[in-house]
């Protein structure tokens, strides 16, 4: 039992010694820039427009003209009338995009 612990310790020390022999160390001079640069980007608002928002008047039919002999009668179809509604999905804003300095 003691011999296996001793062998394991020797192997571990052997690996530690060989890895430290091959480890390289060197010194470099750097001047780290702690500045952070950003590009400014304006994002316009996103608006959802519903052209058939609020119904004002439904579709209707109309007959215009004279029923007298020789007269002209026009059959008209009037489309529905709506008030357009808008819903802001995203407000306009400024976005900062990281860039290199």
Q: What are the sequence ranges of the domains in the chain?
A: 2-99
| pLDDT (tens digit per residue) in 4-31 | 555 555 555 555 555 555 566 777 666 6
pTM: 0.48
Which is more confident, 73 or 30?
Answer: 73
How much of the chain exceeds pLDDT 90, in percent? 54
Give the whole-angstrom CA distance, residue 42 versus residue 74. 54
Residue 60: is its pLDDT beyond 90?
Answer: yes
pLDDT the model gives residue 89: 96
């Amino acid at each position: 039992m003691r011999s296996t612990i001793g062998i394991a310790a020797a192997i571990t020390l052997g690996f530690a010694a060989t890895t430290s022999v091959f480890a390289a160390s060197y010194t470099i001079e750097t001047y780290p820039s702690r500045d952070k640069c950003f590009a400014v980007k304006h994002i316009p608002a996103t608006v959802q427009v519903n052209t058939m928002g609020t119904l004002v008047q439904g579709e209707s039919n109309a007959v215009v003209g004279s029923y007298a002999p020789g007269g002209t009668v026009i059959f008209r179809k009037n489309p529905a009338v709506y008030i357009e509604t808008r819903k802001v999905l995203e407000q306009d804003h400024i976005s900062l995009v990281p860039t290199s300095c």
